[in-house]
Structure 1
Amino acid sequence: MSDTSSLQARWRRIRALTIKETLQVSRDPSSFVVAFVLPALLLFLFGFGISFDATRLKVGLTLEEPTPAAREFLISLSNTRYFEVRQSADRRAFLDDLSAGKLNAVIVLAGDFAQRLGRGDTAAIQVVTDGSDPNTAALVNGYVQGAWRTWEAQRGLGAAGPPGQIDVQTRVWFNPELESRRFLVPGSISLIQMMIGSLLTALVVSREWERGTMEALLATPVGVLEFILGKLAPNFILGMCAMGVCVLASLFVFDIPLRGSLLALTAFTAIFLIVALSLGLLISTVARTQFLASQMAMMVAFLPGLYFSGFLFEVASMPAPLRAFARVVPAYYYVPGLQTIFLAGDIWAVILPASAILLGMSALLFTLTARKTRQTLD
């Protein structure tokens, strides 16, 4: 047989396998649940349910001397969207609620607050927070300082400082509103792509073994490469369709900006999806039951992507062994690139190195899958 005829026969077998797998996926409701229902739930959870932005924090404000200046600060504090303020003349009225968790902080304006302001001295504000929740305590301190600077600017107190005083002006790039949803939603897309790629393909071969169709498949002249491509192609298309749904939801439901190009987003996602598909198919060559394959996919792909991608937990603050482990997690490279494309644009200094590493991972996983794929019943 000539090389041309052999190549044509190979493409016919790949096409036949792809059609078979596409029909099998379309007839299996669980595939659409994994590809569309679970991504929708994850997007809803990270877009609306999870937020690092604390709003309507419950604080108690103690005015030891209700002077006009203190009342003006009380009004300014109450008008922000961050605080729900309760007032008392004695801080002891709030201590029990602070201990019980009914208040996030107690703010105390001393009796000489107005006199210090009038003399141009530093007017101290005491903020008592619950240290059992360090994140909320830090947010309260930051919000109080921001409210104080805003009130000070409105009164014009900061305009005439001593000579040489440093005026710090903060400018936030890419996410000026500091909305955590704008980096949580792109980060959740990485989990969705990893889940679709690894979980769906992990069930592919194990389903063949469970249903007894692997024997008939092994009796055909299908090679290892043809087998792998025929299995990956339908799930790749399904994953890219799910990505399209995620992008539309990000833009029109969660109001996430897409400052990069759609072409860069598509190409970068395709590279990551190939890694996820290869990892899932590698798992399926080891596990012969769908239950075991799904459990392995969760442990090997989904959970490392959740904990070591950097979009929920800061990898730099982890111990050295965990930081080293994060370097082999594909989502560790995909999440920063995805957030960059959405929030900053096509920053190739971020996208290209991550793409090169992901391509290397996909080549390694593809090679391991080809070596592990069994063509016998033992």
Structure 2
Amino acid sequence: MMNWRDFSRHVKALCLKETRQILRDKSAILLGVVLPLILIILFGHGLSFDVKDIRLAVVNSQSGEASTLYTQALSANKTFIVNVYSDRTQAMKALEHFEVEAALFFEKQSSDNQAQLLVNGIDSPRATMVANAVLGTIQSAGSAARDSVGINVIPRIWFNESAESRWYLVPGLLVIILTMIGTMLTGLVIAREWERGTMEALLATPISPWALLLSKTIPYFVLGLLGWSLCMLAAVFWYEVPIRGGLWLIALSSALYFEVCLSIGLIISAATRSQFLSSQIALLASFLPALILSGFIFDLRSAPEWANVVAYVLPPVYFMELLKVGFLTGGMTALVVKNLTILTVFGVLLMLLARKLCQKRIRK
């Protein structure tokens, strides 16, 4: 029975070996440090749910007080590029030739408080955002221009007062980045040992499977922690995303989730024993669930029931919820405790599975 001193000595020696391997193989540093920084910069600036540069045609033949105010409000809003036309025919021609995305008509035959909005619906998600942007601007300007009857509803957005989509995108990018680098970093390590023939030498030593697993996890965890730190600096100081739930929550949930991703990579690498096959499976097992089933791009509340079931069987959705609380809302103690517990269970079960696949035996 191996004692604790021997076990710790084996782990330390193997971690040193793996660290030297990382320093010799610069691809691991590029994957663990440089790639996360590149991704958060490119995606943070390249992705946006904010609608901008809406080409809007306005026909104001009423020349009334309300329609003139609405036209001025739309022209002053930097979201719109407003072209004012004298009649309906010109505006319809511009809409048909894709010179504008939407056309707003204040015509004499309609009452002073009614107008018609036509939107190009080829890109349906953008068409919905365009319609909402026009109606929202009109509603805001109209509250000061017309008499209100009954209850006047004044909307207010909590937790993201300026409706800045980057505040939502950056936490989601952390989910994708940690998933990709965690799975890819360890997805090749055991397979590399088998392909290079060094695994047989390791199996001949008195090291335990747990020592082997920890030596393949700790160096890459530290490397991923460096990449995560750079992403957090970019999120806070570059994109100015607030941290309302506490840095401890973001750090703890990130550590748990990153350990889950590292375990998934070890399982894939131990099961395939092929670097090429491991890289392909790791990419599919990490990127697609994190992108599609985490609630980052697609709202799971609008997804079919089976998609919700699949999503909540996987860990990304729980990490995504924790990051939203950590960055934007704070509080929600019950949700935080539940999701942290679930991530911990995922981490333990996946590490036990990796341990089972890393038995000291030669391929049959």
TM-score (norm 1): 0.91
Shift in Å at residue 127 of structure 1? 0.6
Shift in Å at residue 68 of structure 1? 5.6
| Matched residue, 1:111 | 108
| SS in structure 1 at match of 2:245 | coil
Query: What are the equivalent positions in structure 2 for 1:350-365 lying under 5 Å apart?
Result: 350-365=335-350
Q: Is the 8 A contact 2:33 2:224 kept in 1?
A: no
| Matched residue, 1:120 | none
Q: Which amino acid aligns with 2:193?
A: E
Shift in Å at residue 112 of structure 1? 5.0
CA distance in 1, matches of 2:6, 2:342: 34
Q: Is the 8 A contact 2:34 2:227 kept in 1?
A: no
| Matched residue, 1:141 | 131
1:80 and 2:77 matched: yes
Q: Is the 8 A contact 2:37 2:227 kept in 1?
A: no
CA distance in 1, matches of 2:98, 2:342: 46
CA distance in 1, matches of 2:89, 2:281: 54
2:54 to 53, 57, 65: 57
| SS in structure 2 at match of 1:357 | helix
Q: Is the 8 A contact 1:232 1:277 kept in 2?
A: yes
Query: What are the equivalent positions in structure 2 for 1:1-378 lying under 5 Å apart?
Result: 6-67=3-64, 69-111=66-108, 116-117=111-112, 123-155=113-145, 157-158=146-147, 161-162=148-149, 165-378=150-363
Shift in Å at residue 94 of structure 1? 3.1
Shift in Å at residue 311 of structure 1? 1.2
Name which of structure 1's ranges 337-346 and 249-258 shifts more when overlaid on structure 2: 337-346
Identity of aligned residues (%): 35
Shift in Å at residue 268 of structure 1? 1.2
| SS in structure 1 at match of 2:187 | helix
Q: 1:166 to 1:364 in 2, by over 3 A?
A: same
| SS in structure 1 at match of 2:55 | strand
Aligned residues: 363
Q: Is the 8 A contact 1:340 1:347 kept in 2?
A: yes
| SS in structure 2 at match of 1:84 | strand
CA distance in 1, matches of 2:310, 2:132: 33
Q: Deviations along 1:249-303, whole A, 9 cap, x unmatched?
A: 0011111111122222211111111111111100010122222111111111221
CA distance in 2, matches of 1:175, 1:359: 29
| SS in structure 1 at match of 2:188 | helix
Q: Which amino acid aligns with 1:124?
A: Q
Q: Which amino acid aligns with 2:118?
A: V
| SS in structure 1 at match of 2:244 | coil
Shift in Å at residue 236 of structure 1? 0.9
Q: 1:133 to 1:9 in 2, by over 3 A?
A: same
Q: 1:130 to 1:41 in 2, by over 3 A?
A: same
Q: Which amino acid aligns with 1:13?
A: H
CA distance in 2, matches of 1:233, 1:346: 31
Any gaps of 5 or more consecutive residues in structure 2? none
Shift in Å at residue 29 of structure 1? 1.0
Q: Is the 8 A contact 1:104 1:136 kept in 2?
A: no
Q: Is the 8 A contact 1:261 1:346 kept in 2?
A: no
Q: Is the 8 A contact 1:65 1:111 kept in 2?
A: yes
CA distance in 2, matches of 1:148, 1:17: 66
Shift in Å at residue 38 of structure 1? 1.8
Shift in Å at residue 217 of structure 1? 1.2
| SS in structure 2 at match of 1:313 | coil
CA distance in 2, matches of 1:95, 1:110: 14
Name which of structure 1's ranges 250-259 and 58-67 shifts more when overlaid on structure 2: 58-67
CA-atom RMSD, angstroms?
1.7
CA distance in 2, matches of 1:316, 1:150: 29
Shift in Å at residue 28 of structure 1? 1.2
Q: Which amino acid aligns with 1:12?
A: R
Q: Is the 8 A contact 2:33 2:223 kept in 1?
A: no
Any gaps of 5 or more consecutive residues in structure 1? 118-122
CA distance in 1, matches of 2:8, 2:326: 36
Name which of structure 1's ranges 138-147 and 189-198 shifts more when overlaid on structure 2: 138-147
CA distance in 2, matches of 1:220, 1:323: 46
| SS in structure 1 at match of 2:105 | strand
Q: Is the 8 A contact 2:33 2:226 kept in 1?
A: no
CA distance in 1, matches of 2:360, 2:96: 65
